[in-house]
Structure formats: C-alpha cells, structure tokens
Chain A
Amino acid sequence: MTAATAEAETARPPAGKEKTATKVLRWLGRAPIHILLVFVGLLWLVPTIGLFMTSLFSAEDVNNIGWWKIFTKPSLATFQNYQDIYHNESIRSAIVTTIIISVGGTILPILVASLAGYAFAWLEFPGRDWIFLGVIALLVVPLQMALIPIFSLYSKVGIFDTKLSLILFHTAFGLPFAIFLLRNFFIGIPKELLEAARIDGASELRIFVRLILPLGLPAIASLAIFQFLWTWNDLIVALSLARDTQPITVAIFSQLRQFGANLELIAPAAFVSLAIPLAVFFAFQRYFVQGLLAGSVK
C-alpha cells in the first residue's frame, strides 16, 4: 500500500505558492474528514487492543472487570497469563505444531508451484494452455469437497493425525493460486535471457535454479507470505483431519466450550496466535499488498 499511496502522491498536481490563509481555510474545510478517519481508525483498533488488555487480567479479574479499566488502573495488568501459557504443555506444543505446519506448508507449495509455473511459462508441450486453464479452474473447488475422502484416505494409508498429512493438504490447496501467480510472473521474464542460457547449453533445471528462481523472487516472496498466513490461520483442515496434532487455532477452539471459565487462557493464546501473523504482515507489508493485488482470488 506504500507504493499505491506514493503514486497517488506524485500524481497530484504540484501545489503552487498559496497564501497561508488559504491553506488554513482549506485545512479547516477538510477537518471533518480527518476527524472521521481518526474515529474510524480508533474503532478498528479497539478489538485488538481489547484482546490484549483482556489477556493481561488475572484469572480472578478477567470475568469481573472490563479491560478498559486497565487504562485508569494499570496495576491490574500482569504478564502472569503469558508465563502460564508458556509453561502450558498443550499450548506450547500447539505453537510448535503450528510453526512446523506453516513452514512446511509454505516451502513445499512454492517449490512445486515454481516448477510447474516454469513449465507453463517457458516449456513446450501439447495442450499447455488448456491444462493451465484447468489448474486455474481448480481454484474454485472449496476444500470442503476434499475433507471427507482425504479423511478416509489418510486413515487407510495410516498418516491420519500427522503434521505431514496437514502440510500436504495445505500444499495441494495452495497450488492452483501459486501456479497461477508464478506462471504469470515468470512469463514476464525477458525471453532473450532464457534463449541466451539455452544457447549456452544450460539444462532446463539449471535455467530454473540459476535464472528463474532468483528473478522470480519478488513474486515468490508475496506468495510465501500468503501461503504462510493461510496455513498459520487454518482451522477447518486441522479440525477435520487431525485429532491430537493440534495447531494453535484448534487448541484455542477446544477451550472455547468454557469461554468464561478459560478466558485467562483463551485471551493470551489468541493474542499469541494473532501476533505472529501481524509481525509477518508488518515486516512484509509491501509484498503482502502486491500479492493481494496480483490475484485476489482465494
């Protein structure tokens, strides 16, 4: 979004030399917009702040005192809950599970999709464009269509309730979008570069590793962020295809039944599960938005 705003900024005609009075008047005229935006911005922040504040209450206070009271009485805040969930075996293993699934579920689809994306962009084979169209068509298959047969398949093969089985599911369902995005990016790489490499006798695999992957890095980066967040934030796949292999979302879900009684556990766990995607988002905002604009389909 930084890029988009920068464009808008430059597109504006250069402001001539204005009298200060006119400037002030114009600023005053626009004041309602600023006030409205500040109000909306605060409104949008409240839930996240509320979750964080709630997570700071002790077990005794959390069901009796509104989180906003922390502003007037900061002594109510304690990091005890975070210490507790750090020592809570099930939450800790849930976070480790989430990390493993998310990392695996990001690297694998990118690897597979960039191979396929390269083939669709630069290799010759019959029916190429139709097959590519077919892959894009798979974008609309809701993952609900796969849950039941895959559940049975996993039980039969004996990989039900493993991290690998979840990674493979996320990989497959990440592929159509990933192939679509990477193929479209790879096809923009100048033809001359590839032909020069081919004339030099480089194998396709070598071209792929030495040329395509480095040049495709921007697209791969946005894709990685998307795929990571998608896997990290998943609930339905892990809830359906695993029992004891619980990522953090499922671990929180299993606490939700006693919402009131477990709030001192739910709130900090939810905040942790939300803090990591937020950190990723803030660190890679640019790529995130680029990816979003490249194909808002999933």
Chain B
Amino acid sequence: MSGASVTAEPPAKGAPPSAQAGKWRQYAIAAGFLAPAAFLLGVWIIYPTIKTIVRSFYGRDGSDFVGIDNYRTLFSSDTLLRAIENNAIWVIVVPAAVTAIGLLYAVLTERVRWAVAFKTVVFMPMAVSAFAAGVTWRIMYQQEPDRGAINAGIAAVKDTFSPTGVLSEAAPSSDALEQRPSGALTLAKPLEPGGVALLGLTRIRSEEVPATATQAEAPASKPGEITGVVWRDFKPGGGTPGKVESEEPGLPGVTVELLDQDGNKVQSATSANDGSFAFQDVPDGSYTVGIGASTFAQPFGGVSWLGSKLITPSIIISYIWIWAGFAMVVIAAGLAAISRETLEAARTDGATEWQVFWRVTVPQLWPVITVVFITLLINVLKVFDIVLAVAPQSVQDDANVIALAMWRTSFGGVSDFGLGSAIAVFLFLLVLPILAIQIRRFRREQGA
C-alpha cells in the first residue's frame, strides 16, 4: 500500500448544505460520474453472475429445469473429479511453495548490491502471459534429451555418475551366454580354475568397436587361473558363432566379473586390446564368468515430463517460475519497511541470526506474507492458461483443473452450458470465502 491509501479522511461535506435542490443536483452529478461504470459492471458482471447461477439448474440447452443434476454430475464424473483433485494439489502446494521461495529470495537479496538485477530477472516472468510462459516450458520439457533442455541437464548429470554402457546395444552371439534379469550376460556353463571363457558378442556396429581393438586370440588355459576373451563374434560373410576367428576384433575395456556359486562377485578384470582377460589365483570350485550389467546400460531416454503421470507437477513448476518474483518483490518491500531497531535490539540481547529471523523478522512480515499467500490462493483456484499451454491434448484429462474443465465443458467441444455453469458456480463458491477476508482487510485499512 505505498502511498495510495495514506490519507483516508472523510471527504468534504458539500459546500452549500442549505438548499435541498443543490443536494439533488449533487446526486445527479454523482450519478453521471458513476453511470458508465454502473452500466458495465451491471451488464458484464452482475447480470451474468445471477444468470449463471440460475443457468446451472437447467440442462444442456437451457430449456428444461434439472434441479441439482448438474452438480451431481460435477461430483460423480471421473474427468471432473480429477480436475477437482488436481486443483486441490495446486492449492496445497503452490501458495506455500511460492511464498516460501519469495521469502527466501527476499531475505537473501536484502544486503546484496546487485539485488535489483536479480529481482528483475526473477520478476520478469510476471509480465509475460501465463500462456506464453507455458509454451516456453513445453519446449523445455520435451522428452528427448537432445531437444528438451531439462532432460539434457539430467542426462549430463546422470552420465557423470552412471555413464551409458560401452556396448549398450550388444547381444550374445550364441547360447553359451545367458542374459540375467539385471542386464548382465553370464556364461551358461560353470567354469573351474584352468577353464577358458569365450564371451562372444554381436550386434555391435563397426564404428562402436574401439579404435584400439586388435585381432582377438583364443586364450590358452592356465592352471589356477580362469582366462578368457571378449570379442566381436561376427565377421563380414558370417563366421561360426562361439569361435574366435580371423578378422574378429577383441573388445577392450569391458569389465568382466567372476562370480562364485552363490552369485557373489569374487574378482573383476578389464579386457585388454585383444579382448583377453585373466582371473589369477582362483581357488578350487565352480565359477561363473559374466559381463556386468553396466556395460550394457542403456543411454538415458529422458523423463516423460509431459506424460500423464508427471504433467501436473511439471505445470506447477512452471507456475512457480512465474509467481516467485511476485512473492519476492512484495515480501522485499515489507522487509524494507521493518524497523531496524527491533532487529538490532534482538541482536544486542544476544539472539542468533536464526532467532532474529524467526522471532523478529517473520512476525513483522506476517501481514505481507498473508497478502501474498491469499493472492496466490485466488489465482491458483482459477489457474487455466498455463495448463492449456503446457499439457499436450492427450494428457489434458490428467492435467485438468476446475477452470479448464469449465471451459472445456462449455466451449471446448462439449457445449454443455448447464454443466459449465455449475462448474463456474462451484469455482465461485471456492473463491467466495476469500471475499470475506478481502473486505475485512479493506475495512480495517479504511479504519471503519
């Protein structure tokens, strides 16, 4: 309330209080000033409000009275219940999240020199239409990591911690190798010390074979060791599966594991340039040799942000992006108005910064925080544009919210004005309690 409502003193009494005629003249002038507003408010807001309430008790084309049938449908149709449920999620998550983020940013920027630049950047989305912002986020949310920036970011992080396997496409060349549920490939036949493991793989494109690879050799058996080779068991023109032949290169850098009978890993080795590897000092017993699942790890395919499961959280994130700046600016203005003395006094009394924040700053900010919270509550109940922009047609049922359901029922193909009116009235009833708060706040400010 900067400057706008500073002096709310009663206006001047009319100059000549004596003449009755002068009074009527005054009323007429006032009526003239108010007439355009009265006409617009009457025709575009008051009349339609009443009309919509009445209309909600009539059927699709408005000719037959159906009582509360439309409201029954509202609370029994799956699509509409889903919309109400989603809107409930919005109401629970968004006002709290946005207010918290706004408070955090306002406090963090309080004593930073370049705060104006930061605030401008974060506040910028507020000026933009929720619809255009939604389109922007839809581009960000594309699933393929080479197009959608968010999945590209996740892919980059993921590749550092669990890289795509060197042989993500490879498959066994013969029945000698079996695929485990984990994705690992192991030899079907157990081996004992002195045994030789032949791990032949196919479905490897020539360009995927590392440049350092050399001709594979069938390894010799050595006592006390298990030796073996990993190679590309394919040569142009065929060749015999399971047999190391000329022109078949070894596959270097593959992690081979030695497992005991219980499936525990005993040793692991990395194949050399010719694909050979060896496990030394193997005690007597029966073992399995296999290639770890990580070798075959698939590349990251992207999180399905716009799929039916994640669509509501995705839209909520983009909505928070829009509104965080609003919360930050309003709370920052409140923060600037807090009396410094109280903070200093608390600090002098030995309060920690944390205590000062929670016991002194936040209580003084409470009115501002309430305003932000309520503003968001109203807006979240009426959220519409951004859902329509982010959610692809196919998942709009999963992303549905009350305002969108109202539009889709009335104008988006269904053309049921009765049910549409009922949804509008329901939305109205949800925001109505906020009317009470709004008017109370207004009257308090007017000192009435």
- Give A residues with C-beta under 8 Å from B: 1-5, 7-8, 11-13, 33-34, 36-37, 40-41, 44-48, 50-51, 54, 63-68, 111-113, 115-116, 118-119, 121-126, 128-129, 133, 135-142, 144-153, 168-169, 171-173, 175-176, 179, 181, 184-185, 187-188, 191, 194-195, 198-199, 204, 208, 219, 229, 232-236, 239-240, 249, 252-253, 256-257, 259, 263, 266-267, 270, 273-274, 277-278, 280-282, 285, 288-290, 292-297
Contact = CB atoms under 8 A, between A and B. Distances in A.
A173 B45 contact: yes
B91 interface: no
Given A142-B382, A149-B52, A173 B37 contact: no
Contacts of A267: 135, 139
B119 interface: yes
B326 A292 contact: yes
Contacts of A198: 15
Interface in B156-200: none
A232 B375 CA distance: 21
Given A66-B146, A148-B55, A235 B384 contact: yes
Contacts of B90: none
Contact of A119 (B30, B111, B420): B30
B4, B382, B389, B392 pick with most chain A CB within 10 angstroms: B4
Given A115-B34, A149-B52, A240-B410, A235 B11 contact: no
B132 interface: yes
A290 B2 CA distance: 7
A159 B125 CA distance: 34
Given A175-B41, A184-B5, 4 more contacts: A7-B336, A8-B111, A123-B33, A277-B128
B127 A277 contact: yes
Nearest to A187: B8
A229 B127 contact: yes
Contacts of A252: 131-132, 135
Given A8-B336, A11-B340, A136-B439, A249 B129 contact: yes
Interface in B41-65: 41, 43-49, 51-52, 55
B129 A65 contact: no
Contacts of A115: 33-34, 36-37
Nearest to B115: A5
Interface stretch (B235-243, B354-362, B425-433): B425-433
Contacts of B137: 47
B146 to A, nearest CB: 5
Contact of A273 (B14, B51, B111, B132): B132
Q: Point out which of A2, A48, A123, A204 has the most chain B C-beta atoms below 10 A from its C-beta.
A: A123
A249 B385 CA distance: 10
Contacts of A208: 33
A112 B6 contact: no
A110 to B, nearest CB: 12
Interface in B79-117: 105, 108-112, 115-117
Contacts of B33: 115-116, 118-119, 123, 204, 208
15 contacts: A2-B116, A8-B111, A47-B140, A50-B139, A112-B36, A136-B442, A144-B403, A194-B12, A195-B12, A235-B385, A249-B132, A252-B132, A256-B135, A278-B128, A294-B2
Contacts of B123: 1
The 7 closest A-B pairs by CB, nearest first: A233-B129, A172-B44, A281-B127, A146-B48, A119-B33, A149-B48, A116-B37
Interface string B268-303: 000000000000000000000000000000000000
B127 A278 contact: yes
A141 B326 contact: no
A138 B44 CA distance: 11
A4 B112 contact: no
Contacts of B372: 296
Contacts of A150: 44, 48
Contacts of B381: 142
B333 A4 contact: yes
Given A47-B136, A116-B34, A187-B11, A236 B128 contact: no
B127 A288 contact: yes
Contacts of A111: 36
B40 interface: yes
Q: Binding site of A, secondary structure by majority: helix, strand, loop or mixed?
A: helix
Contacts of A13: 340
Nearest to B29: A204
Contacts of B72: none
| Of listed B8, B40, B109, residue having the most chain A CB within 10 A | B40
- Among A51, A122, A194, chain B packs the most CB atoms within 10 A around the CB of A51
B19 interface: no
Given A37-B109, A41-B121, A172-B45, A145 B335 contact: no
A293 B388 contact: no
B122 interface: yes
B366 interface: no
A66 B151 CA distance: 11
Contacts of A54: 139
A231 B327 CA distance: 22
Contacts of A253: 131, 388-389
Given A50-B140, A139-B438, A233-B129, A66 B149 contact: yes
B75 interface: no
Nearest to A185: B4
A239 B384 CA distance: 12
Given A47-B321, A146-B45, A181-B4, A140 B438 contact: yes
A178 to B, nearest CB: 9
A122 B136 contact: no
B129 A37 contact: no
A187 B147 CA distance: 55
Contacts of B121: 41, 44-45
Contacts of B12: 122, 191, 194-195
A191 B11 contact: yes
Contacts of B29: 123, 204
A179 B111 contact: no
Nearest to B337: A7
B67 to A, nearest CB: 19
Q: In this complex, which of B115, B129, B406, B421 has the most chain A Cβ atoms within 10 angstroms of its Cβ? A: B129
A68 B40 contact: no
Contacts of A146: 44-45, 48-49, 52
Contacts of B40: 112, 168, 171-172, 175
A274 B52 contact: no
A147 to B, nearest CB: 7
A163 to B, nearest CB: 16
B448 to A, nearest CB: 8
Contacts of A2: 116
B325 to A, nearest CB: 8
